[in-house]
Structure 1
Amino acid sequence: MKICVYGAGAIGAYLGAQLASAGADVSFVARGPHLVAMQKNGVRLQIDGGERVVKVRCASDPRELGPQDYVIVALKAHSVPGVVDLMRPLLGPDTAIVTAINGIPYWYFYKHGGEFAGTRLGSVDPGGKQWDVLGPERAIGCVVYPAAEIVEPGVIRHVYGKKFPIGEPSGERTDRILKLHDIMNAASLDAPIRDTIRDEIWLKLWGNLCFNPISALTHATLDVITSNPATRAVSKTMMLEAKAIADRFGVHFRVDVERRIEGAGAVGAHKTSMLQDLEANRPMEIDPLLTVVQEMGRLVGEATPTIDTVLALIKLRERIAQQPQLPISGSTQEISSVS
């Protein structure tokens, strides 16, 4: 079984190293010093109190790897549209695309049923490129719950979790989903097959759409956001707005808002990925987590006033963060020292 992990960062490298250890023919598409280190030394995976080295074929150019049985897309969701054309050499007639990303995926309305079946979402798939090139028929949903980090180039530390729920857009138990489930389980990954993978996607998104931007705006960790009455109230309002939209698309939440918030708080003093990206001056996952919910609300006529407000603030925060820092003038310094 040939599996390419496209975007072998912390989660992608952890996932790929586990699959390779289980006997899959795994390759990575990566870049920079992390790629160089993995090519030279293999992936050093720190897990369960120890460290092991896993040798995996690594490349920056997918043309070196050829067609795959599965391509696991483990990039930040907003990065995917820019690399779609580069993925073409990985695609054979039966290649499956496993979207191990945050937020709503490009294929969401494929085999959805109802009046919105086949709808394309411009906020996550501008111009429909993922739909046209990768194809919704190739897609398998995957929700990422574990946490991992790159300690240094080529060195991955597994922080917690091993759960990766997977599912076909149609809810069917196809041969390809069963084979993926088997190899992931063999790799000590918890990969339950969900007949309603969209419910799982929304459950993860439910927290991401509020906790991520609030953390980036306030620099607060999850325990602070969920325990502070004001930010907890904003989070709850955003989640209820999102639930009203998801309900219209037939989504079922297996927990209520309060329990979802409590679950996030229990993680502790954790910086969300959006806050980490802001601090590292990287682009943030705004459209796949917030703009897409706004877009889906417009489809069904559901207002999102609080989401709209937070979305406007976090987009401005990103724009300012990406501007070059100008030197402070003498007059400004004087005024600042007085205020």
Structure 2
Amino acid sequence: MKICVIGGGGAIGGYLATKLARAGNQVTIVARGETLEAIQKNGLTLYMEREIQPLVARVKAVSKITDVETPDVVMLAVKAHQVEPVIDDLAKIMGPNTVLIPLQNGIPWWYFQKLSGRYQDHPVETVDAGGAIMKKINPNNILGCVVYPATYTESPGVIRHVEGNRFPLGEIDGTVSERVKVISQMMTDAGFKSPILEDIRGEIWLKLWGNMTFNPISALTHEHLEGICQYPLTNDLARNMMAEAQRLAEKLGIVFRVDIDRRIAGAEKVGKHKTSMLQDLEAGNSLEIDALLGSVIELGRITETPTPCLSTVFALTKLLNTKVQSSQGRLSLPMAA
């Protein structure tokens, strides 16, 4: 297949691009700066867990989305707040049958599209102000996906895989189409686990349950997953945040297939892993707090569900993000006069 990975130099995008290319697909990635130069010179290098020798893939790398020929599949592997700035160029390379797979964490812009009921086509303002993205992308092109692997970028063009290989897929209208079967097989052939789900939104909530709690808590405390789960106070905070989210999600028809205890146990099992938000904090990058937590609080307002713990952690993390950006990634208290 002809695949474009936007953000292919990032941790998840690079992981996908490397394995899909090595499975025989024609992969083009969109990257920038040192990452683009490194990939053009050396290809993508992926170190898998417990493997000594890396996987190397030679892929085409470009700096502009509009340099990409119309692909069969676009994997949008950028942060949620980075989607809107690229949406015009993305729309230009989309053909009528191009499958767009958004890979953002959190509540996606398309959440209420093709969803029958009271909230059908309601924009999620936190991640899509004014419905700008919804207006540019045909929902018929979208295939839902949930990202479970833990990876990180070691250096430009070099990706480290920590654990996991699951990318569940699902049509956003709940059908099991021929195209989702084809994409699932493509992912399977590349070594991923991509089961087809009839309720992709339920899976989004299951993943988000952890992201919206552990990510901001880790940024605020500089602690890894195992430490957050094992420390009683942060464990309790995570439970309270999850309970608030569960109450509002159930009002939207979501059924959680595991309970809070099992979800926290799963996070603890990952071990001493830094969340993506903590990695971004340490790198001085903007934190993905709106998509992971702000969007959930917005759905709380829509469903008239109180979210006191979620809102408190959101406020603290938003302030932290403001301080990191204004201090160019260096946090310190000024000396007293």
Distance 1:43 1:171 in 2: 35
**Residues 37-83 of structure 1: CA deviation (Å, up to 9, x unaligned):** 11111112222332232111110111221211111111112211121
Distance 2:334 2:123 in 1: 48
**1:131-146 alignment, distance < 5 Å:** 131-146=134-149
Please report how far the alpha carbon of residue 326 of structure 1 lies from its aligned counterpart in structure 2 after TM superposition: 10
Aligned-partner residue type, residue 7 of structure 1: G
Name the residue aligned to 2:3: 3
Q: Answer whether contact 1:171 1:197 (CA < 8 A) is retained.
A: yes
Note the aligned Cα RMSD (angstroms).
Answer: 1.6
TM-score norm. by structure 2 comes to 0.95
Name the residue aligned to 1:336: none
Aligned-partner residue type, residue 32 of structure 1: G
Name the residue aligned to 1:148: 151
Name the residue aligned to 1:314: 317
Tell me the SS of whatever aligns to 1:123: coil
Aligned-partner residue type, residue 64 of structure 1: D
| Gapped regions of structure 1 (runs ≥ 5) | 334-339
Name the residue aligned to 2:94: 91
Distance 1:18 1:265 in 2: 27
Tell me the SS of whatever aligns to 2:205: helix
Q: Answer whether contact 2:45 2:158 (CA < 8 A) is retained.
A: yes
Name the residue aligned to 2:181: 178
Please report how far the alpha carbon of residue 327 of structure 1 lies from its aligned counterpart in structure 2 after TM superposition: 9.9
Aligned-partner residue type, residue 44 of structure 1: T
Distance 1:279 1:41 in 2: 27
Please report how far the alpha carbon of residue 256 of structure 1 lies from its aligned counterpart in structure 2 after TM superposition: 0.4
Aligned-partner residue type, residue 168 of structure 1: E
**1:239-318 alignment, distance < 5 Å:** 239-318=242-321
Name the residue aligned to 2:68: 65
Aligned-partner residue type, residue 317 of structure 1: L
Please report how far the alpha carbon of residue 11 of structure 1 lies from its aligned counterpart in structure 2 after TM superposition: 1.0
Name the residue aligned to 1:232: 235
Distance 1:76 1:157 in 2: 19
**Residues 163-185 of structure 1: CA deviation (Å, up to 9, x unaligned):** 10011001111122111111111
**Residues 256-298 of structure 1: CA deviation (Å, up to 9, x unaligned):** 0111111111111111111111111100011111111111111
Within the alignment, does 1:113 sit opposite 2:113 as a pair?
no
Aligned-partner residue type, residue 14 of structure 1: Y
> 1:326/1:267 Cα in 2 relative to 1: closer, same or farther (>3 Å)?
closer
Q: Answer whether contact 1:66 1:89 (CA < 8 A) is retained.
A: no
Please report how far the alpha carbon of residue 135 of structure 1 lies from its aligned counterpart in structure 2 after TM superposition: 2.4
Aligned-partner residue type, residue 108 of structure 2: P
Q: Answer whether contact 2:114 2:139 (CA < 8 A) is retained.
A: no
Tell me the SS of whatever aligns to 1:27: strand
Identity of aligned residues (%): 46
Distance 2:316 2:138 in 1: 34
Please report how far the alpha carbon of residue 86 of structure 1 lies from its aligned counterpart in structure 2 after TM superposition: 2.2
Distance 2:255 2:334 in 1: 55
Moved over 6 A (4+): 325-330
> 1:305/1:60 Cα in 2 relative to 1: closer, same or farther (>3 Å)?
same
Tell me the SS of whatever aligns to 2:28: strand
Tell me the SS of whatever aligns to 1:137: helix
Aligned-partner residue type, residue 202 of structure 1: W
Please report how far the alpha carbon of residue 329 of structure 1 lies from its aligned counterpart in structure 2 after TM superposition: 7.4
> 1:128/1:223 Cα in 2 relative to 1: closer, same or farther (>3 Å)?
same
Distance 1:234 1:167 in 2: 31
Please report how far the alpha carbon of residue 192 of structure 1 lies from its aligned counterpart in structure 2 after TM superposition: 0.5
Tell me the SS of whatever aligns to 2:96: strand
Distance 1:15 1:231 in 2: 33
> 1:173/1:317 Cα in 2 relative to 1: closer, same or farther (>3 Å)?
same
Aligned-partner residue type, residue 12 of structure 2: I
Distance 2:189 2:149 in 1: 17
Larger Rg: 1
Within the alignment, does 1:27 sit opposite 2:28 as a pair?
yes
Aligned-partner residue type, residue 280 of structure 1: A
Please report how far the alpha carbon of residue 133 of structure 1 lies from its aligned counterpart in structure 2 after TM superposition: 0.9
Within the alignment, does 1:43 sit opposite 2:44 as a pair?
yes
> 1:327/1:321 Cα in 2 relative to 1: closer, same or farther (>3 Å)?
closer
Distance 1:320 1:110 in 2: 35
Q: Answer whether contact 1:81 1:126 (CA < 8 A) is retained.
A: no
Aligned-partner residue type, residue 91 of structure 1: M
Q: Answer whether contact 2:123 2:130 (CA < 8 A) is retained.
A: no
Q: How many residues align?
A: 332
Q: Answer whether contact 1:74 1:100 (CA < 8 A) is retained.
A: yes
Please report how far the alpha carbon of residue 96 of structure 1 lies from its aligned counterpart in structure 2 after TM superposition: 1.6
Q: Answer whether contact 2:323 2:331 (CA < 8 A) is retained.
A: no
